[in-house]
Every structure is written in structure tokens, then in C-alpha cells.
Structure 1
Amino acid sequence: MKLQSSSILSKEQVDLLKKTRLNFLWFPKRFERIYTECYRNEAAYEFRYRGIIIIILYLYLSLGIYQILPEDQVIPWISLYGWVGVIILVAWLMSFVKRFNSWFDYYVCIGSTLSVAISFILVNGLEEVQNTVLFHTAMMYAVVIIYGFVGLRFYTALIAGWVGGLIGLIISNHMNATIDWTLLNRTYTFSSFLGMSLAYFIDRQHREHFLKNCIIEHNHLELVQQAQQLSKLSQMDALTGLANRRYLDEILQNEWERAIRYTKPITAMMIDIDYFKFYNDALGHVQGDDCLKRIAFMLNSSTSSQQDVLVARYGGEEFLLIFPQTNEQQAKQWAEQLIKNMHQLALPHPSSPISSYVTLSIGVATIIPSYAESISEFITSADHALYLAKHRGRDQYQIAVYEVPPLAIAK
């Protein structure tokens, strides 16, 4: 039985339901609705196989009745009892149509009610064979099957069994049929109470299994959530919440291979916070951590409109952004926007020699890769461009120039 996440209860909630509602075969309204949906789908599926057995039993019992009937009673008997077979066949065929699953207990209850009523009428209304033991057996068969084998829940089976008998009784009285109450009590009444007991324990057991499945699904969901959380944590930088180096390497490899396969450009931006060491010395590491978080948030929110962009903390005060399917002209626009957004953030930097606010230097590398190039060379070119931006005064971006060697510039 597969449950939706909205139907999964905790162990404490399940234990409470077992103590307060299980014996009454009724859950609280919201959960009863969830249980009913699961029950109907499962019961309809099982009836595809149970229906075959019911049809076989019906045919076998019909053959026995046919053999003892006088010839003049065959047609009246077939005209009535044949409808029971039709009802069974129709219900069985309906169980194969999934859109009828939500109506399973309704159409089976109506069919069961009619089957009991027809059996009741045959017992008392067919002349010359009234109150024949085999007819009573047919009625007992109908009652027990309804309670214990069709798959109806207790209260629904109760309605079908007793309402069917009541309808049969009313019609029998209307036909002025002779009713043997002693034999009727020994067959119909006895089989009804026996069937009620079976239906009650079957329904209760089914609900108990449902609650156990809720616990299993709850535990499974907890394990899945914990695994997802651990996976997420293993991919996330603890301070900034951005992707870490491990996750960056994984995504970059995938995007690099995709760019090669489809001959598309890919851009990398290496970003460094200008004079961050001076910032930490002046304001302290706690304030420095807060600065990293705010810049990380700005970078992430600035690029959120392009879903494929990966923002990662590369190390220390450096960030690396990967832009799939982004050419050099688009990369320049992104770099200009990031520098502008950094200015708008206006984080005070009391020790910066170039600005009273925190600024960024950005190195941009764009390439349409082939198997001749490597990812490490690509990232190195972005790093070289970053050093070039710092060398030329910081608070700016530079496009990668591959022949320029890395410059030893203090951060």
C-alpha cells in the first residue's frame, strides 16, 4: 500500500489512533478520507481475482439448485437468480476500470444488497420449493460472501446484508409468501451475525496494517530526508550556504562535457573581495564572516534569474561563478551587473585604499571548449584575469588574457 506524504503519520499519532479509533473502525475525518482512497484502490484490484472465485461458486451452487428444481420452476428461478450472476459479472468488470475505483464500495454495496434481496425472495416466494434447504444455502452463500469475501468494509457490508434482507422481506410479504421464520433465523440471521464478525475483524486488521504502513512510510521518509540533508550539506559551504569545492568540481565537469558535446560557450568568473585582509584586521573575523555571507547572498540573488548558473565559494574570500551557454559579451554584462550590485550593497570598508565600501575584482574567462583544452587551464585563465584586474586597480573586471602570467599581488 503506497501512501502519499500527506497521509504519513508519526508513531505517536498512530499509537493514539490504535487506542482511540481502531476498535470503532473509524479514523478522524481527514485521515479516514485518506484511508478510504487507499482502501478503494486496493479492494478494487483484489476484486479482480476474488470476482473469479465468486463467479465459480455462484455457478456451482446454481447447478445444484437447477438439479433439484421442478421443470415448471426453472424459468421463474432463472429469471430471478440469473440477475445475481449479472450483478457479480458487472461488478467484476467494473473493477478493471480504474476510474471506477473511487466508487468501489458504492457499486459493490448496491450489487450486494440486490443479491441478498433476490436470494431472500427466492427462499420464500418460489412456489413448490419454498424454504428449500438449498435455497437457504444460496442465501447464506450470498450473505457470507458479502461480509467476508467481497472486500467491503464493516459498516458498508452491514448495510448491504441487512438492507438487502429487509427489501427481500418487504417484497416477500407483498407477494403473500409463506415465511418459515425458524429456518430463516437459522440460516439468514445466523450467517449474517457470522459474516458481521468476519467483516469486523477483517476491517480492523486491514486498518491496523494501514497504520503500520504509515509508521514504515514515516520512518522511510525520515531516512530519505536525512540522506537528502546529508547530501546537501556535503555540497554546501558551511559559512555562506553556497556550493563548496567538491560540488563545484562535479557540476563544472558536467557543464564542461556538455559544452564540448553541443559546441556551446561556457564562462567562469573568479571573484575576489578587495583588501579583505585589511577588512578583517580592522573589524574582526566575526564581521568578516558576516561580510562573506552578505556578498554570497548578493551573488546568488543576482544570478538567480539564470537557473543554470552555479555560485560557489572557491576558498577564503574568493568565489567562482560558472555560466553555461554564456558568450564573452554576455559575460561582460554579467560582470558589470555584479560590480554595480556590489556598489549598491554599500558595505563599509574603513581600511580600503581605493573605496570607503567593499569592492570586488573579477576575472572572466569564456571558451567554447574542445577535448584539447582542460578544465584546470580554463579556471587558471580566469584566475589570471582576476590578478590582472587587481593589478590594474581593483573594483573592476578583466577578460582572460592567456599569455599573461599570474602576478604576485598582495590581497
Structure 2
Amino acid sequence: MLKDFVSNAALLIASFSIMGQLFKDKPLHLSSHLSVKFYWGISFGILGNILMLYSIHINSTTIADLRHLAIVIAGAFGGGIPAMVASILIGIGRILFFGYNHTSILASAGVILTGIVCGGISKLKFHATLKAFLMNLMGLFIISIILSINIDDWGVLTNILAYHYIISLIGGFFSYYLLEYIAKSNAAQQHLKEANKLLNQLSYIDGLTGIANRRYFDQTLENEWIKLAYTNYPLTLIMFDIDYFKKYNDTYGHLEGDHCLQTIANKIKNEIFTHPSYTFCRYGGEEFAVILPFVNANEGLQIAKKIQKAIQSLKIPHISSKISDIVTLSIGVATISPKSSSNQEELIQMADQSLYLSKTNGRNRISSVNL
């Protein structure tokens, strides 16, 4: 009999480990969402039914196992809802698996009563460990009453209850702390995952302007090139920089220069590049780039004109500029239909050459090229 109870406890603890992994993204606690409590309650109910399939058969209608611990742990971690869901499922299973008779009805009633009691104890302002212990004791007390009604042999009854109490208290202790450890471990892993995700996102963001950086530009352009390489759709790249920005820094100072970059980046990001498939990046220094998949040469040119007008509308003073008294841009636009036989470097060179052409032709202008 001891061996059977130990096997039941081992199955219980192993099942908790599996459940902890299955629901690692849906931890169970008193403030969990209602749906999460139902998921866990159903799982504990299934576990209780599995434990009954490996129960100790005392006589033709009476069995003993650790099914109450599934309800106890459900109540200890999630409160009344998962405890009641589990107890109802276990109560139904007791009748379905072992027949409809006086013993099974009494056992089912005891199981459901255990769920109600555990739900009530979960509301007490006690330490969580103490509440789990009280739930376990009350579950054992209810089991004692049920077994005393169903077993006539006093010697058999005391023998079963002795083993039941010992294994239940020890098994309940280990089960509680195992699930608590799993919950803390899963929470730590989730926090680490979120931290890594945040760090990864930050590694793609330019610290000054808050837009995508060169690293993100390189990765995105490569991805867009690969995606369009086997289609006939165009890919447009716009590159632009601020005219005479070095003179701007020399005149107004680097802090004002930084503010100028931030103002330009915010203006373009918030008013022009709101489309999710467009990527606006700081390419380096005062140079910016825009990746425009599925945009043809004419559309790219129109977008470049919008950028130019948007920055001119800011009217940022630039008394050291040789072409205007406000900040202006030189813009290069390049459009190509990506091919698998070439790579994105070709498009970058085209856009860079267009930008160079705008500079050599007097700045504050747009040049474009397409293949």
C-alpha cells in the first residue's frame, strides 16, 4: 500500500513539472485572468482523474489516492475558481470511471466539498504556505469521513489513513514548493526574455534621434531585397543629408546640431513615414535613409519632394549656409527591381551617387536614378 501511495505521489509531482512547462507563459496566482484560472483548473481536474486511474482499490467500490492534492494546489495558487473547476471534473470522473453507486456519489460529494473548502481558505489573510497546509488537512479530514463511511474494517481504515496522511502531507509539501519554484523560474525566464527583447530593440535604435540606426538599415534593406528578388516589384532608396551641417555645428554648437537632427527626424517620422512597410533610418552623422519597398521611381521622387518641403517648413535658421538662410536638404533617389544575381549594395551605390549629384549641382535639390 505504501508503494502505491508513493507511486501516486511521484505521478503527481511529475505532472506538476509538466504543467509548469506547458503553462509557463500563463502563471497561476490569485490575480490571474479568469481564463488562465480555468485553464489551470481543467488541467488539475485532468490530473485528478489520472491519479484515480492509478488508485488503490480497497474494495469493489472504494478507492484511495492523492486526487485531493490536485485541488489543494489549485486552490493554494489560484484560489476558488481553479479549485472548484478541478473538483467538479474530478467528481464527474469518479462516477464515470467507477460507476454510479452510493460510494462514488459520496466520494464525488467529498471532492466537490474539498474544492469549496479550499476556495474558502484561499481568501484567508494567512501566509500562502499555511493556507496550503490547511487546505491539505481539510482535504484529508473530508477523505477520512468518506472512507470511514465506506470501509467497515477498522484495521484497514486506520492503516489506509495512516499512509494517506503521511504521503499526502509530505507529497503536498513537495508539490507546493515544486510549483512555487517552477513559477519563480518561469517568471525569471520571462523577465530575461523581455529584457533580451528590449536590448535587441534598443540595438536597432539610434540613441540621438530615436529612429532606426545603420544596423537596422542594413538588415532591413537586405531582407527587402531578398523578398523582392523573385518578383517584378520595385525597391526605392532615398538618401539625404543636411546641407552644410558642419558649418551649422560650428556656428550654433553641437548641442544645437543634435537638436536640429532630432527635429528633422521627428518631423519626417511623424508626418511622412507613417506607413508600416517604410523604414526611416539615420544612416550616419547628418545623413538619413529611407527604404521604400513596392515604390516605383515616380512615387519615390514625390516622397522625396515631400521630405524636402517638410524640412523647409520647419524654417530652422542656418546663417552659415551658402544657399539659404534656413536648413535645407540634398536628396538622392534610386529605384531598382531587385534580382537574385545582384545585391542591395548596388542600390546603395545608386542612391549615394544621386545624393552626390545633388550636392555637386548646388545642393538643396533632388536627383534620381533608376534601373
- TM-score range relative to shorter protein: 0.5 to 0.7
How far off is 1:375 after superposition? 2.5
Count of aligned residue pairs for this structure pair: 311
Question: Counterpart in 2 of 1:358?
Answer: 327
Question: Counterpart in 2 of 1:330?
Answer: 299
Question: Counterpart in 1 of 2:178?
Answer: 209
Q: Letter of the aligned partner of 1:46 in structure 2?
A: L
Question: Counterpart in 2 of 1:226?
Answer: 195
Question: Counterpart in 2 of 1:118?
Answer: 102
| Secondary structure class of the residue paired with 2:221 | helix
1:61 counterpart = 2:45: no
Q: Letter of the aligned partner of 2:31 in structure 1?
A: R
How far off is 1:310 after superposition? 1.7
How far off is 1:121 after superposition? 11
**Alpha-carbon distance change, 158 to 367 in structure 1, aligned in 2, over 3 angstroms:** same
TM-score for both structures, normalised by structure 2: 0.67
| Secondary structure class of the residue paired with 1:355 | coil
Q: Letter of the aligned partner of 1:239 in structure 2?
A: L
1:104 counterpart = 2:51: no
Q: Letter of the aligned partner of 1:288 in structure 2?
A: G
TM-score for both structures, normalised by structure 1: 0.61
Moved more, 223-232 or 104-113: 104-113
Q: What are the residue-to-residue correspondences of 1:12-23 with 2, within 5 Å?
A: none
Once residues 282 and 250 of structure 1 are traced to their aligned partners in structure 2, the CA distance between those partners, rounded to angstroms, is: 36
| Higher radius of gyration, 1 or 2 | 1
Q: Letter of the aligned partner of 1:61 in structure 2?
A: N
**Alpha-carbon distance change, 401 to 328 in structure 1, aligned in 2, over 3 angstroms:** closer
| Secondary structure class of the residue paired with 2:330 | strand
Which blocks of at least 5 consecutive residues in structure 1 are unaligned?
Answer: 9-26, 63-80, 89-99, 123-138, 170-178, 403-411
Moved more, 328-337 or 29-38: 29-38
**Alpha-carbon distance change, 333 to 273 in structure 1, aligned in 2, over 3 angstroms:** same
1:369 counterpart = 2:351: no
| Secondary structure class of the residue paired with 1:61 | coil
How far off is 1:35 after superposition? 8.7
How far off is 1:343 after superposition? 2.6
How far off is 1:48 after superposition? 5.5
Which blocks of at least 5 consecutive residues in structure 2 are unaligned?
Answer: 1-19, 68-81, 115-131
Question: Counterpart in 1 of 2:232?
Answer: 263
Q: Letter of the aligned partner of 2:171 in structure 1?
A: I
The percent of aligned pairs where both chains have the same amino acid is 29
How far off is 1:285 after superposition? 0.9
1:43 counterpart = 2:44: yes
Once residues 335 and 370 of structure 2 are traced to their aligned partners in structure 1, the CA distance between those partners, rounded to angstroms, is: 11
**Alpha-carbon distance change, 206 to 116 in structure 1, aligned in 2, over 3 angstroms:** farther
Q: What are the residue-to-residue correspondences of 1:187-202 with 2, within 5 Å?
A: 191=160, 195=164, 198-202=167-171
* 8 Å Cα contact 1:117-1:165 kept in structure 2: no
Once residues 164 and 33 of structure 2 are traced to their aligned partners in structure 1, the CA distance between those partners, rounded to angstroms, is: 23
Deviations 1:72-94 (Å, cap 9, x if unpaired)? xxxxxxxxx59x9xxx9xxxxxx
Question: Counterpart in 1 of 2:214?
Answer: 245
* 8 Å Cα contact 2:273-2:280 kept in structure 1: no
Deviations 1:135-167 (Å, cap 9, x if unpaired)? xxxx9xxx99x99xxxx973773585367579x
